[in-house]
Amino acid sequence: MSIAVPATAPRTLSLDDVEATLNLIDDRFYAYGLSALLVAAGLYFTVRTRGVQLRHLGTMIRSITGSRSGAQGGISSFQAFAVGLAARVGIGNVAGVALAIVFGGPGALFWMWVVALIGMATAFVESTLAQIFKERGRDFTFQGGPAYYIKNGLGSRAWGSVFAGMCIVSVGVTVVMVQTNSLAGVINATVPEVAPWMVGVALVLLTAPIVLGGLKSVARVTEVVAPLMALAYVLVALVVLLINIGELPRVLSQIVHGAFGVDQALFGTAGGITAAVLNGVRRGLFSNEAGLGTVPNAAGTATVAHPVRQGLIQSFGVFVDTILVCTATGLIILLTTDTYRPGDDSVVGAVLTQQAVVEHLGEWTTWPMVVLIFVLVFSTVLGCYSYSQVNVNFLGGERRAEQLFGVVLTAATFAGTVLTLPIVWALTDIALGLLGVLNLVVIVRLTPWAIGALRDFEDQIALGEDPVFVGHSNPHLPGDVLEGIWEAPWAGDRVDRRPGRGAFDSEQEH
């Protein structure tokens, strides 16, 4: 009598397998592709603009202080900056920096600085292009961003639609999930009785009324919340720095030595200088977003007199995000004696940052940090909505489609709270990375437009004028821009300084 041998059951794909596969793709993608492309593009834009991020740092600051008015019923330059800042300054500054330091060591912070300084030029170019090629939307507002400069600059609506779809998924879904996932982890670690799904429900109740109100509603909230929460976080870091001022030289030495692999004791859990570079670049990119094509969606909505003005303002946003806010997180963590230990990954993400603040300032800071992180996440979710909504409009979405997307984004805020952290981060890295590759290729091709606008801006500054942009028959530009955007109302008082030309008004131009 034969004995039947049961067939071996096929191995089912586990969540751990999915996580391992995504992390492998993520690591290879950043190690061999996106990191090099971002650095190369940033260096290229720095050279082409003659170091605009350094030469015009003062202009950036002055532009922000005078940008709250002049929107004429639309979205002001400052509101667009605040929306961009709200999306930039989020969990990437709290959890992302902590992850970079744990896995890449203190040296990862140095490479975040490098990426930011180079990326300021990239942010300038992409946000300037968003202004040059924007279109007029409803209710005195503008719509702009990569989808629009692909369509109006390269003449390809098809590729613009591809970008718009990718942006809606990556920013409106995966980035939102990263934010809410980290927030749920912080609250659950602080109060174990509060389950992650409870955090998700609370976020849904807060987010839905605002995002369903549209872009202007989001802009009104973020112009107040975003600057205040960034300032509050930096003030916390300054207090920590003053308390530990004697330890600052030691920490700065660790950052530099770790960046170049001088001291093996400073390696992160991933080990080596490569880990420091990759984690610093990856988390720096996720935090400041320079080159990804996300922030231009906010930059293109502003009503300004010259595209370069908004380009400079958004470039300064990279400085605020990384050089100020990310550095604040890094110093808070590295100045601890018990919370952070090189090579120890038992505590990671936003929980590590929260515990570091508690070590410095005491247990009473636990709940204030929870509240601060909550506001960071909430404002970033609103910023993600504004980015995605611009692309929903590009694809032909009217008011009903905008509201439908608001429902999708609200659902993503809940979904993020119940998924595992590594999977969410890996999905987001990959989605944003693909978005960045497409955007970088496009803005390199459109660089002459941004350079021409910069020369036009600088020429008017040299003449002592308040720069005003004219998009037709402008000798600095490769061609004319879209009709009806840059002729009026700004061109009305413009004096054409080209030889043989005099003053003209907007009616004559029309």
- The enclosing domain of 303 has a CATH number of 1.20.1740.10
Token couple for 369: 């940090």
* 19 is a domain residue: no
How far is the C-alpha of 160 from the C-alpha of 28, rounded, in Å? 27
Alpha-carbon distance values, 89 to 375, 383, 395, 505 (Å): 10, 10, 28, 41
pLDDT value at position 88?
64
* 488 is a domain residue: no
pLDDT value at position 43?
93
* 1 is a domain residue: no
Q: Where are the alpha helices (DSSP H) in 5-34?
A: 15-29
pLDDT value at position 458?
92
* 323 is a domain residue: yes
CA-based end-to-end distance of the chain: 97
Contact 438, 162 (CB under 8 A): yes
Domain of residue 334, residue span: 29-463
pLDDT value at position 83?
65
Contacts of 14 (CB under 8 A, 6+ apart): none
* 126 is a domain residue: yes
Q: With a threshold of 0.85, does the pTM exceed it? A: no
pLDDT value at position 146?
92
Token couple for 94: 């709290």
How far is the C-alpha of 44 from the C-alpha of 63, rounded, in Å? 25
* 482 is a domain residue: no
How far is the C-alpha of 276 from the C-alpha of 109, rounded, in Å? 8
How far is the C-alpha of 424 from the C-alpha of 420, rounded, in Å? 6
* 411 is a domain residue: yes
- The count of other CB atoms within 10 Å of the CB of residue 212 is 16
What's the number of domains the chain is made of? 1
Beta strands, E only, 294-400? none
How far is the C-alpha of 475 from the C-alpha of 482, rounded, in Å? 16
pLDDT value at position 449?
94
* 70 is a domain residue: yes
How far is the C-alpha of 230 from the C-alpha of 318, rounded, in Å? 13
pLDDT tens digits in sequence order for the chain, 510 residues long:
444 445 555 555 565 666 677 667 766 766 567 778 888 899 999 999 999 988 988 888 877 765 554 445 456 666 666 666 666 666 667 777 887 888 877 888 888 888 889 999 999 999 999 999 988 876 667 888 899 999 999 999 999 999 998 888 888 888 888 778 877 877 877 777 777 778 888 877 877 776 665 555 555 665 566 667 777 777 888 888 888 888 888 888 888 887 776 666 566 566 667 777 777 777 777 677 788 888 888 888 877 888 998 899 889 888 888 888 888 888 888 888 887 777 666 666 777 887 888 888 888 887 887 787 787 777 777 778 777 888 888 887 666 666 677 777 777 878 777 776 666 667 777 777 888 889 999 999 999 999 999 999 999 989 888 888 888 888 999 988 887 778 644 443 444 443 333 333 333 333
Token couple for 474: 């402008």
- What 3-state DSSP class applies to 410? helix
pLDDT value at position 492?
39
How far is the C-alpha of 212 from the C-alpha of 410, rounded, in Å? 10
Token couple for 73: 């019923």
